[in-house]
Structure 1
Amino acid sequence: MSGRIKVMIVDDSAVVRQSVRQILEREPGIEVIGAASDPVFALGHMQRQWPDVIVLDIEMPRMDGLTFLKKIMSERPTPVVICSSLAESGASATMQALASGAVAIITKPKLGVKQFLEDSSNDVVQAVKAAARANARRLAPRAPSAAPAPRLSAEAVISAAGLGSGASMLRTTERLVAIGTSTGGTQALEAVLRRMPATAAGIVIVQHMPERFTAMFAERLNSLCEIEVREARHGDRVIPGLALIAPGGKHMMLARSGAQYRVEVVDGPLINRHRPSVDVLFRSCAKFAGKNAVGVIMTGMGDDGARGLKEMHDAGSATIAEDESTCVVFGMPKEAIRLGAVDRVLPLDEIAAAILRASV
């Protein structure tokens, strides 16, 4: 894609259409080519000029957003950013949207939406820019505050491996797997976790996702997988056959309790502009698990997790990155490979088997 990012806004709220248009049009690299009150109007406009990114509501007249999303992904895959209410029904629909190929979520309240969107203008812009970088071919369905936050490193939450008592705690036979993903990660995680047997090593996961959506995402995966998948709680043990997903809005770190691993779910500043941060999780795994861990970094924009994976690699962990050919966005894996943090670079359909071999 060259030139400005062409965006189509599809939302039945005139306030949302106007607010999102104003936010995006302030960016010189973005052009709003249209705004429609429902998908039927949008399709007519898009036949004349196809967008690079669609910002899409879910509940709309004539054709709901999920139906429209599935139609787009089956006929002409295009990056879609969901702009959804935090209502429980909306959250469920958003999970379905992610499973159907949406690449990002913008959460919006039912009341005060105009001010909320203005306050979140940087998030809106960054979501559109991330979506524009997505590999549209990987989106098709496959068979089973306004100012940028300061960019902090994992040091703001956890000290590096080797500083403190972590190194003396590495003698244990317990194995674990740490996975970090962002844009496109919901589909990638499903592909990997559905191949995990009930006897698989314990898994800890950071997927960049807003608050309240991680619990429903975990519930959906739990219904599809042989292993148990759930949102992590502070103090949860990491045990075979269980995958713990960091809650949105919280950092998750590995810790030791005797010979056992557990997780700590904590508040803290944005790290690499994310909370949860993959770097925080990976650094804690380097510090407290070392050679007993497997680190995996998959599709995502930016570089969160790359330095943490390098620390895991240097501590003796086996490390895996998703190959560019299957990534929705080859940002995080690319940076990890550049840093020399990766032992193996594999396409998505080979990652689960590699995890199982490395974690025995």
Structure 2
Amino acid sequence: MAFAQRNVSAGVNTGADPIKVMVVDDAVVIRGLLTRWLGEDKDLKVVSSQRNGKLAVEDIEKSNPDVVVLDIEMPEMDGLTALPLMLAKKRNLVVIMASTLTRRNAEISLKALSLGASDYVPKPESTSEVTTSIDFRRELVDKVKALGARAVRMRTPVRTMRAETRAGRTAQPTTRPASAAARPAVDTRASFRGAGQQAGAGGKFQLRPYASVRPRILAIGSSTGGPQALQEVMKEVGTAMNDVPVVITQHMPPTFTAILAEHMGKAALRPSKEGEDGEELKAGNIYVAPGGKHMTLEKEGGSVKIRLNDGPPVNFCKPAVDPLFDSVSKVYGSACLGIILTGMGSDGAGGVRTIAAGGGSVITQDEETSVVWGMPGAAAQTGMCSDVLPLKDIGPKISRVLKGNTR
């Protein structure tokens, strides 16, 4: 596996209701194994196990799962065909695609994300590898819990309001986040969409001023929900990227990152590829950290070059955001703009501190629009970000900052 996520306490369901899971896989051994792994966790309850997409679609309303772990290649109806049919039956259903690490399956997994799947888990190639892979088991359980916790929270308030109505009490309106323009603090208390990570005192985070110099590089870190978020950001930044290189670390395994880079290029209408060791950065180009390698930057003479290394995972991830951000700050100092988007864990929080210490600026995604508010929540809690924004506002803000306008 390219990375093994841990530290997902933000996604753990601590309420009384377990997260209800459906497992869909045509291989009886794999289906039984996943069912057993998930069933052994006290926060999870497997409510259905199906051998193909057709049976799964037919069972959605009866079993009413919060999360579906959906295989791609199955007889009668494959996962990609079943996905929109499932979502049509249950709008807030969380679907996690499960596929082996082939280019075709990676393409299908990323397409599934654009069709409404929440995430994916790459399966080892063979049944024997699946049964012995500790990383695969951990990633599967962690993602089901993190994404499923959001689904449980989304249905919990309905029961609470009904109970209060029966008791003769009036339900209070939900508190929504205050505008990020309010300085010096931003209120990020909001919906049930995030990972449930607790905010600082009063739910407010300190914000620091943007750097006074225009950025000469844009560095982005993301994980769960990242491919969709990255696409939206890349589309919105537009021509502001013409004068700076863009470097991205998205937690993904090999093969997936190459396809992600292609998708980023199509979204941004500019050159985009996996970074290569020794490659010189060029303005207007996008470079994605390849799965299974850490990507950093290094100044060499009058140019800046990419360095790849095969060191141990950082924050249980490889590639990791912290090494990239640390190196970006070292090379560019205050002329650095960092972005933390949706994702599990806390990778990137250390790099945010490094960028801030070097005089650079950081924008992080808010809780309400994050698929999982682990990484951006940890970044916000450092008190070193210049803005905590909804996803739709991040691209336009980046565009303005890259042009020298921080308002």
TM-score of the two chains, using structure 2 as the length reference: 0.75
Q: Classify 1:236/1:130 alpha carbon distance in 2 versus 1 (closer, same or farther; 3 Å).
A: farther
Whole-Å Cα distance in 2 between the matches of residues 126 and 306 of structure 1? 20
Whole-Å Cα distance in 2 between the matches of residues 327 and 136 of structure 1? 16
What is the aligned counterpart of 2:271 among 225, 228, 233?
228
Partner residue in 2 for 1:41: 55
Partner residue in 2 for 1:280: 323
What is the aligned counterpart of 2:143 among 127, 130, 133?
127
The answer as to 2:250 corresponding to 1:207 is yes
What is the aligned counterpart of 2:262 among 195, 202, 219?
219
SS of the residue corresponding to residue 242 of structure 2 reads coil
Whole-Å Cα distance in 2 between the matches of residues 16 and 114 of structure 1? 10
Matched letter for residue 253 of structure 2? P
Cα deviation per residue 1:281-313 (whole Å; 9 max; x = unaligned)?
111112221111101001111111012112101
Cα deviation per residue 1:152-176 (whole Å; 9 max; x = unaligned)?
xxxxxxxxxxxxxxxxxxxx99810
Partner residue in 2 for 1:261: 304
Identity fraction in percent: 37
Q: Classify 1:257/1:15 alpha carbon distance in 2 versus 1 (closer, same or farther; 3 Å).
A: same
Once the 2 structures are TM-superposed, how far is the Cα of residue 135 of structure 1 from its aligned partner? 6.6
Whole-Å Cα distance in 1 between the matches of residues 329 and 288 of structure 2? 18
Whole-Å Cα distance in 2 between the matches of residues 218 and 98 of structure 1? 15
Determine if contact 2:103/2:256 at 8 Å carries over to the other structure: no
Partner residue in 1 for 2:226: 185
Largest Rg, 1 or 2: 2
What is the aligned counterpart of 2:100 among 85, 94, 107?
85
Q: Classify 1:133/1:245 alpha carbon distance in 2 versus 1 (closer, same or farther; 3 Å).
A: farther
What is the aligned counterpart of 1:315 among 358, 370, 373?
358
Whole-Å Cα distance in 2 between the matches of residues 51 and 67 of structure 1? 19
The answer as to 2:344 corresponding to 1:330 is no
Determine if contact 2:216/2:243 at 8 Å carries over to the other structure: no
Determine if contact 1:10/1:54 at 8 Å carries over to the other structure: yes
SS of the residue corresponding to residue 239 of structure 1 reads coil
Partner residue in 2 for 1:339: 382
Once the 2 structures are TM-superposed, how far is the Cα of residue 129 of structure 1 from its aligned partner? 1.9
Partner residue in 2 for 1:64: 78
Cα deviation per residue 1:70-111 (whole Å; 9 max; x = unaligned)?
23345513222211022332222112112223333222244x
Whole-Å Cα distance in 2 between the matches of residues 301 and 254 of structure 1? 24
Q: How many residues align?
A: 326
Unmatched 5+ residue regions in structure 2?
A: 1-12, 155-212
Matched letter for residue 225 of structure 1? A
Cα deviation per residue 1:24-56 (whole Å; 9 max; x = unaligned)?
222222211111011221123221121121110
Determine if contact 1:178/1:296 at 8 Å carries over to the other structure: yes
